[in-house]
Amino acid sequence: MINNKTKYTQLIKTEAKRLGFLSCGISKAEFLEQEAPRLEAWLNKNMHGEMRYMENHFDKRLDPTLLVEGSKSVVSLLLNYYPEEVQLEDTYKLSKYAYGTDYHFVIKDKLKELLYVIQEEIGEVNGRAFVDSAPVLDKAWAAKSGLGWIGKHSNLLSQKTGSFYFIAELIIDLELEYDTPTTDHCGSCTACIDACPTQAITEPYVVNGSKCISYFTIELKENIPTEFKGEFDDWMFGCDVCQDVCPWNRFSKSHNEPLFNPHPELLSMTKKDWDEITEDTFRKVFKKSAVKRTKFTGLQRNIKFLKD
C-alpha cells in the first residue's frame, strides 16, 4: 500500500509537470550547513559589490524554517526559458532569460496554482512561493534536491537540459519523500572560466559578482568602471557567455511557454536600431519584460558604454 508521503510526493511532481515545469525535486527543510561558510567568505571578500541586500537576512538565507514557520519540505522547480530563435549575430545583446515576459510573474502564477492544488487535494498545508525575490539560495536547494549540480560558473547544471532555466521554490509544512543530490559532471572542463569576458569566474565554482557583466548592466546604478571598456562583448543587459560555451547546453531544447516569446521587433533590431531607440519603442518591446528593471535610462547608459 502506498503511504501518504509517497502519494503526496507523486501528486506534487505530477502537478508540476502539468504546469509546464521542466523538473521538480524535493529536499528536507533544514539549515544549509555547507553553504554557510561559503556565503560568509563570498560576502567578506565583497564579491557582491553594490548588492548590499545580499548581506541582509543571513540566517534566513540558510534556514527555510525561519521563512516559513514549521516548514518541512523545500519543493524546487525548474522552468525552461531557452528560446527557439535568438537575436541577430551583430547587434547589442540581452540575456535570453529577458526575451519575453518577466519570469517573476509567469512562475509566481504557476506556483500559486501548484500550492492551491496541494491544499485542495491534501488539506491544510501552509507554504510560500519563492521566485528569486526573497533570501532563498535557489541553486543550493535545487542541487540538494537532485535537479543538477552547481557548475564551475556557479549556475545549476543538468546533464539532460544544461542550464537555461529559472529556479523557484515552494516551502511547505508537509513532510514528503526527499530526493538525493546528483554528482558533479564538470570534470576538467574550464570553458566557462576561459570564456568569461571580464574574468569574473575567479576560480572554479567562485564568481566575483562585482565583476560580472550582468551585475554591471543590471544591478549597478552608477557609471560602469572605465577599466572594463571593450570587455563587454556587446552585452547590453545581462550576459550568457558562460552558459553559451558550456558543453552541457548542447542539449538545451527550446521552451514551450508562449509568455517567454520575445516581442517580434526584438529579434530583428540592429545596432543602429538600439542606438536610436526611443522611450516609446523601449516601452513597447519590453512591455512586461525583466529589462524594465534597468529602465530606459539604464539601457541607454549600457549602450553608450558599448559604443564609446
pLDDT digit string, tens, across residues 130-176: 998 777 889 999 999 999 999 999 999 999 999 999 999 999 999 99
Distance from C-alpha of 14 to C-alpha of 55, rounded to nearest angstrom: 37
Distance from C-alpha of 149 to C-alpha of 76, rounded to nearest angstrom: 13
| Cβ 260 vs Cβ 99: under 8 Å | yes
Q: Which of 94, 146, 63, 46 is nearest to 286 (CA)?
A: 94
| CA atoms within 13 A of residue 216's CA, in its CB half-sphere | 26
H helices of 75-151, where? 103-122, 138-144
| CA atoms within 13 A of residue 79's CA, in its CB half-sphere | 27
Q: Which fold has domain 4-84+99-172?
A: NADH Oxidase (3.40.109)
pLDDT in tens, 240-268: 999 999 999 998 999 999 999 999 899 99
pLDDT in tens, 8-41: 999 999 999 999 999 999 999 998 888 877 877 7
User: Is 132 a known active-site residue?
Assistant: yes
Residue 147 DSSP code = S
Which residues make up the CATH 3.40.109 domain(s) of the chain? 4-84+99-172
**Proportion of the chain above pLDDT 90, given as a percent:** 82
Q: What number is the average pLDDT over the span 264-287?
A: 95
The catalytically annotated residue of 109, 132, 184, 273 is 132
Query: What pLDDT score was predicted for residue 59?
Result: 79
